[in-house]
Copies of this chain bind each other. A is one copy, B any other.
């Protein structure tokens, strides 16, 4: 019996270690759900945007440019997603810090403009979304609406 309990406890420990060695992922299905929600929100507001989504490794998994969106947003949407992913926080946080005086942060390779959000699952980052095309405040509204509608955050 002792032996059994010992084996059981070892198993529990090993299992949690095993768990610690995987990470939740963002697959194309989830990314599509998020992008659909973003596009729906944009259409409902009559806004045109680029939607960009990165996965758990920070690599692009999906990009869509709605008709009429300014071409510059192709790059900006990806950069916002990159910053949100790389620093695990909304790009708006950096925007606010710089606006409040932390101008030295502009020397970092970040895009400090609202519209980029990290995507978390069980407190672990599994990707990010970047929206660009309208005002940055509106870009941010779309990003938040998309994650909420898709069941994140």
Contact = CB atoms under 8 A, between A and B. Distances in A.
A88 B106 CA distance: 21
Interface residues of A, number: 58
Given A61-B65, A94-B104, A107-B110, A21 B28 contact: no
B56 A72 contact: no
A74 interface: yes
A65 B86 CA distance: 13
Task: Please tell me how many copies of the chain the complex holds.
Answer: 4
Contacts of A23: 22-23, 25, 56
Interface in A1-56: 1, 8, 11-12, 15, 18-19, 21-25, 27-29, 55-56
Interface in A87-139: 87-88, 94-95, 98-99, 101-113
Interface of A: 1, 8, 11-12, 15, 18-19, 21-25, 27-29, 55-67, 70-76, 79, 83, 85-88, 94-95, 98-99, 101-113
